[in-house]
Amino acid sequence: MDERLCVNPVWPCAMTGACSVLAGISGINVLIHGSSGCYYYPRSLLKVPLFSTYLLESEIVFGTVNRLREVVSNLSTSNKPIAILNTCIPALTGDDLSGAFPGGEGIFVDAPGFIGNVEKGAKIAFDSLGIKTDPSREGVNIDGVSLLDLFWRGNLHEAERLLSQMGIRVAVRFAKDSYENLRQGAALHTISVNPSYPSGIGTMLGSFLFPDLKETCANLADAFPDSDTEPVLEEWKQAEEQIFYSADKYLRKYEPPVVAVCAQESYAVFAKTMMERYFGSEIPVILARNSDAVSIPCETDLTKITRHIADCSPDLILGSTFEANAYPNAAFLGITPPDRSRVSISARPIAGIEGGILFIENVLNTLIDKASLKQKTNK
Amino acid sequence: MAGCTLTGALSVACFIPGAVTVVHAPNGCAHQTFSMLHALMNEAETKIVPEILVSGLSDKDVIFGGEACLSQALDRAAEKHPELIIVVTSCVPETIGDDCLAVCREHAFADRTLYIPTSGFLGGRAKDGENAALIGLSTLAAPAESIPGTVGIIGEKNLESEVEENFAEVSRLLDLLDLTVTVRFCRNAGIADLRKLGTVSCFILRDGRCADAGRELGKRFNRPVIGEFPRGLSGSIAFLQETGKACGLSADVIAEAISKETEHQKMMLERFANLSESEVCLGVEPFEGTLAVAREALKRLGMTESPEGIKVRLPFYLPVGVSGTMKMLYLWRRAILHG
């Protein structure tokens, strides 16, 4: 049977990934060159203003350039650069869309859905933006900020807080920044809050996920000799002591949880490392969402994911509510979208020191809640 | 609901237990609908989401053709031994020229495969997909003698978060007429239930979105069609009158139902007596018909409309019956009493 056949695919397409990058950049208009169906999903997911050419069948027959030119012309009155995101059908019909930019002011992003998944589209969007590094630019770039990420706001705040403590300025945030700032060029060095969304811009000094933070601090200290990473390292040490204390207390009463992890590779490996280090957990299932994952297998067919999970009867699922609903016997903590298990409005981090603490705090609470529910049910 | 025909068709086809839905498309197209279904099922605290099998068209298939992908997807669907395989398509196979009908006809499971050529946005909007699916699925039912006292609901919005609440309100009104819903076409109704479509004495459409399907079904089964769920307060009375007549009920039965409903409305509105004489500003109408429903409620409660009044929001959905109107009034009460 063909591996591409998929039941209930759990990860969006390349166009959505490209859109998530462009939508994070203020000062540009993002125009989806496609149908209302292609527009509607990223619009509802990203919750930011987007535009669309709302292509109709007749425009496919006679060519889409005129329609694109019409919408571009209307949008041009705002005096903002326009990022045009191509979708499956105009990409297939082979229209020469360059004629739609008479003024030449346009960013063309060719990431039709059929070429792959979110990460592929996001990378194409970054490449299309043509962002260059500038040796005169001070500070460090923050990478891996994606509007699709459950933790993007919290991660960004936490990374800015930690860098500020170290005395290092933030240059560009990929991708949550102004177009004007992007055009000034990026700094030479970059750190990431979610390495599964790489912009590929600047020399990567490491991730701010809790287990990686010490090493990244060392790299930052080398790259920025005037910085002071000591306060952050001290805070990290205290946080780890607190985490061990809380996990030890849990382990006095309960056995180490068996955990199934399904997320983008970076968060999945983070979750596995945290659960093994602080709880001594077994992790019989660890599956990536992103097809370019190198250290763990990728799976986006929900029936196959569910089979893997059911085979190991985990105590805890770290993933999305797709997995949680498919295997309701386990406790659940959302680390990848969608997480429909809770109302979430605040800026929660998973990266940085607070992200590490919050992750363990949530794991403990969800496990204890589940155990208490089981006790009540058994009575 | 926005979106292309694929989302519309899936919002109907995915709610048939015993059927497997095959989407001939890239994975991303099916993910969109699956994700929406997941969100709404969670809101409705129903954790079971229907399976959508995707052929997974890739960049290679768009060059060399995707018919083999569809055939393999049908093989996998057939392995589940479903009562029915429903095949819907996105814009990609239409553009690359896949002959999906031929693939379905030649497949070993052809006698239990229903091909609905939606073609993504090339087939229109979500509404057109819904209608295509409803009309396609109605071919499962044969014309039959009508059973008195039964009605069929057509085209419930399965992706609407208050779909069950709206159904409950319509059922409450039908109960006053001693009518029973025997087919919900198509909401969680198995194939056997769908085949009973021809036995109901009247069809009630959810709203004008499924008017095309309503016309087609009314003609094929020779049944009266009620155009939409009741709008607001007076809409509920009109609904009782129209449905009662369509089902051949006597004038006395209808009059008694209306009398009971009038009392019910009076009782429900008493909860908002403290809003009497309030001045409100209704603002713009987000959804056609809501302003009329709101103005009627305003009048019944002795409230007045003024540009200087307290701003209250009109709902972005059409309030169904009394229960929908009450939900709107709770929001008004919050704004009037608590700012």
What is the per-residue DSSP string for A255-267?
PPPEEEEEE-HHH
Tokens of B67: 């018919």
Residue with tokens 């009450």: B326
- Which among B47, B51, B91 has CB closest to A88? B91
Q: Work out the average pLDDT over A86-95.
A: 90
- Packing angle, helices B27-43 and A36-46, rounded to 10: 50
- Chain B residues with CB under 8 Å of A302 CB are 34
Q: What is the per-residue pLDDT for B311? A: 92
How many Cα atoms occupy the beta-carbon half-sphere of A59 within 13 Å?
19
Q: How far apart are CA A111 and CA A88, in angstroms?
A: 8
> Which band of pLDDT confidence, cut at 50, 70 and 90, is reported for residue A203?
very high
- Chain A residues with CB under 8 Å of B47 CB are 325, 328
> Is pLDDT of A181 > 80?
yes
- Chain A residues with CB under 8 Å of B49 CB are 8, 325
- Chain B residues with CB under 8 Å of A325 CB are 38, 41-42, 47-49
- Which among B51, B59, B120 has CB closest to A35? B120
Is the CB of B55 less than 8 angstroms away from the CB of A5?
A: yes
Residue A258's alpha-carbon distances to A97, A378, B237, in angstroms, are: 53, 21, 58
Q: What is the per-residue pLDDT for A104? A: 60
- Closest residue in A to B95 (Cα) is A89
Is the CB of B28 less than 8 angstroms away from the CB of A14?
A: yes
> Is pLDDT of A358 > 90?
yes
Q: What is the per-residue pLDDT for A223? A: 97
> Which band of pLDDT confidence, cut at 50, 70 and 90, is reported for residue A272?
very high
- Chain A residues with CB under 8 Å of B77 CB are none
Is the CB of A325 less than 8 angstroms away from the CB of B49?
A: yes
- Which among A60, A113, A338 has CB closest to B29? A113
A57 Cβ partners below 8 Å, 6+ apart? B121, B122, B123, B124
According to DSSP H, which parts of B126-281 are helical? 126-138, 163-176, 191-194, 211-221, 232-246, 251-269
Pairing mode, strands A203-207 and A189-192:
parallel
Is the CB of B47 less than 8 angstroms away from the CB of A9?
A: no
Q: What share of chain B is helix, strand, coil (3-state, %, to 5)?
A: 55, 15, 30
- Residue pLDDT, tens place only, A30-45: 999 999 889 989 998 9
- Chain A residues with CB under 8 Å of B43 CB are 340
pTM value?
A: 0.86
Is the CB of A114 less than 8 angstroms away from the CB of B62?
A: yes
- Chain A residues with CB under 8 Å of B62 CB are 88, 92, 114
> Is pLDDT of A103 > 70?
no
- Which among B2, B54, B62 has CB closest to A36? B2
Q: How far apart are CA A23 and CA A121, in angstroms?
A: 13
From the candidates B14, B49, B91, B316, which should be mutated to test the interface with A, based on the most A CB atoms within 10 A?
B91
Is the CB of B39 less than 8 angstroms away from the CB of A340?
A: yes
According to DSSP H, which parts of B45-162 are helical? 59-64, 67-78, 91-96, 100-106, 126-138
> Is pLDDT of A1 > 60?
no
Q: How far apart are CA B194 and CA B263, in angstroms?
A: 36
> Which band of pLDDT confidence, cut at 50, 70 and 90, is reported for residue A102?
low
Q: What is the per-residue pLDDT for A115? A: 94
Tokens of B227: 């155009």
- Chain B residues with CB under 8 Å of A115 CB are 58-59
DSSP-assigned letter for residue A144: -
Q: Is A254 left (phi over 0), alpha (psi -120 to 50) or beta?
A: beta
Worst-scoring range by mean pLDDT, A104-118, A167-181, B228-242? A104-118
Q: How far apart are CA A6 and CA A289, in angstroms?
A: 13
Q: Work out the average pLDDT over A223-227.
A: 97
Q: Work out the average pLDDT over A125-150.
A: 96
> Which band of pLDDT confidence, cut at 50, 70 and 90, is reported for residue A328?
very high
- Chain B residues with CB under 8 Å of A41 CB are 3, 32, 35
Residue with tokens 């280090």: A277
Q: Is B316 on the interface with A (CB under 8 A)?
A: no
Interface of B with A in 101-120 (CB under 8 A): 120
Is the CB of B125 less than 8 angstroms away from the CB of A321?
A: no
Is the CB of B26 less than 8 angstroms away from the CB of A56?
A: no
CA nearest B204: which of B232, B224, B188, B180? B224
Q: What is the per-residue pLDDT for A192? A: 98
Is the CB of B75 less than 8 angstroms away from the CB of A328?
A: no
Q: What is the per-residue pLDDT for A105? A: 67
Interface of B with A in 293-312 (CB under 8 A): none
Interface of B with A in 252-281 (CB under 8 A): none
- Greater model confidence, A61 or A253: A253
Is the CB of B121 less than 8 angstroms away from the CB of A1?
A: no
pLDDT tens, residue order, chain B (339 aa):
467 899 899 989 988 989 999 999 999 999 988 898 888 777 766 666 788 999 999 988 988 899 999 999 999 999 999 999 999 999 999 999 999 999 999 999 999 999 998 988 888 888 999 999 999 999 999 999 999 999 999 999 887 778 899 999 999 999 999 999 999 999 888 899 999 999 999 999 999 999 999 999 999 999 999 999 999 999 999 999 999 999 999 999 999 999 999 999 999 999 999 999 999 999 888 888 899 999 999 999 999 999 999 999 898 888 999 999 999 999 999 999 987
Q: Is B56 on the interface with A (CB under 8 A)?
A: yes
CA dihedral of B187, B291, B242, B139, whole degrees rounded to 10: -30
Q: How far apart are CA A294 and CA A145, in angstroms?
A: 21
> Which band of pLDDT confidence, cut at 50, 70 and 90, is reported for residue A2?
low
Worst-scoring range by mean pLDDT, A138-147, A358-367, B34-43? B34-43
- Chain B residues with CB under 8 Å of A58 CB are none
- Closest residue in A to B63 (Cα) is A92
Work out the mean pLDDT of chain A and round it to a whole number.
Answer: 94
Q: Is B38 on the interface with A (CB under 8 A)?
A: yes
Worst-scoring range by mean pLDDT, A122-126, A138-142, A340-344, B242-246? A340-344
Q: Which amino acid is at B171?
A: S
Q: Is B28 on the interface with A (CB under 8 A)?
A: yes
- Residue pLDDT, tens place only, A334-343: 999 999 998 8
Whether the CA torsion B21, B26, B27, B30 is positive or negative: it is negative
